[in-house]
Amino acid sequence: MQLTLVVPAGARRPGPRPPQEPADRGAVTVEAAFGILALLVVVTALAWCLSLLVAQLAVGEAARAAARVAARGDDLAAVRDEAHRLVGDAVVVVRTDSGHVVVDVSREVTPPGALARWGAVELHADATALVEEVP
């Protein structure tokens, strides 16, 4: 009795793989490089967004601190100094409205590097405080 093994046409035999064609060499390296570059861009954008959040929190705190100083009755220079202590390049506007003092603090932030094409972002916060009466 003779055993015959029939292999269908186009089927591959198990065993070592044939050598790759020269045109395919390095394709995985290029794909990995593009993947790493895309990941780097996404991480940079996320880091910038996180820094915007931190900067917005600082602008809000500067507005609240300046409003407290203004409510005590200090002069405008002291109010601006308090806001600039927390946010150095802030634009501070102080106004009064029927027994209340309103302090607006804003700051413009430009993204780093190639993200600068997105344009600058203006962060803004305002705070209101009741004017304290001096005894």
pLDDT digits 0-9 by tens, 18-30: 666 666 666 778 8
CB count, 10 Å around CB of 23?
7
Amino acid at position 27, single letter: A
d(CA 19, CA 6): 25
Given a cut of 90, is residue 8 above it in pLDDT? Answer: no
pLDDT in tens, 40-64: 989 988 998 899 999 999 999 999 9
The values of phi and psi at residue 125, to 5°, are -150, 150
Which of the 8 DSSP states describes residue 24? Answer: G
- What pLDDT does 66 receive? 96
| Tokens read off for 130 | 């009741």
> Sorting pLDDT into bands at 50, 70 and 90, what band is 112?
confident
Distance CA 73, CA 76 (A): 9
Please state, for a pLDDT cut of 90, what percent of the chain lies above it: 54
Q: In the structure encoding, which two tokens stand for residue 37, read together?
A: 């570059």
